[in-house]
C-alpha cells in the first residue's frame, strides 16, 4: 500500500475502469498500491454517479412553482385591466357618436 500519498483522479478513474472491465480487485489493489476498501468505495461512487447522470429526464428548463403562480396571477390582472380599458373605450366611442 502507498504511504499516505494522494491518489490522483486519473489514477482513480483508471482503477474504476479496470474494475468495470472485470479485473480482480485484489490484483488491481496490489498493482496500484491502494487498499481494496478504497477501490470498492471509488467504484460504488462512480457507478452511483453514472446511474444518476444517465437517468432519463424531462427536457426543458425547470420552472419553480412560485414563479409560475406569480406569472399566472400577473397575466390575470393584466387581462382584467384590458377588459376595463376596452369597456371605457367602448363608452367613449358611444359618447363621440352621440355628439
Each residue of 4-23: pLDDT tens digit? 578 899 999 999 999 999 99
What is the structure's pLDDT at 2? Answer: 46
Alpha-carbon torsion (56, 60, 66, 69), positive or negative: negative
What is the structure's pLDDT at 36? Answer: 96
End-to-end Cα, the chain, rounded Å: 101
Residue among 35, 67, 71 nearest 15 (CA): 35
What is the structure's pLDDT at 94? Answer: 86
Q: Residue 92 pLDDT more than 70?
A: yes
Write down the H helix ranges in the chain.
9-20, 25-32, 36-54, 65-98
Q: Which three cell numbers stand for residue 56?
A: 432519463
pTM score = 0.53
For cell 377588459, name the residue: 83
Per residue in 36-80, pLDDT tens? 999 999 999 999 999 888 888 767 666 666 666 778 888 899 999
Q: What is the CA radius of gyration of the chain?
A: 33
* Measured distance CA(71)–CA(96) in Å, rounded: 37
* Measured distance CA(95)–CA(99) in Å, rounded: 7
What is the structure's pLDDT at 78? Answer: 93
Amino acid at each position: 500500500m502507498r504511504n499516505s500519498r494522494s491518489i490522483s483522479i486519473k489514477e482513480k478513474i483508471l482503477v474504476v475502469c479496470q474494475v468495470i472491465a472485470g479485473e480482480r480487485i485484489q490484483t488491481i489493489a496490489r498493482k496500484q498500491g491502494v487498499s481494496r476498501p478504497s477501490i470498492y468505495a471509488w467504484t460504488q461512487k462512480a457507478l452511483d454517479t453514472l446511474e444518476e447522470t444517465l437517468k432519463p429526464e424531462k427536457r426543458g428548463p425547470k420552472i419553480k412553482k412560485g414563479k409560475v403562480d406569480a406569472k399566472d396571477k400577473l397575466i390575470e390582472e393584466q387581462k382584467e385591466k384590458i377588459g376595463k380599458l376596452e369597456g371605457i373605450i367602448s363608452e367613449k366611442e358611444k359618447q363621440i357618436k352621440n355628439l
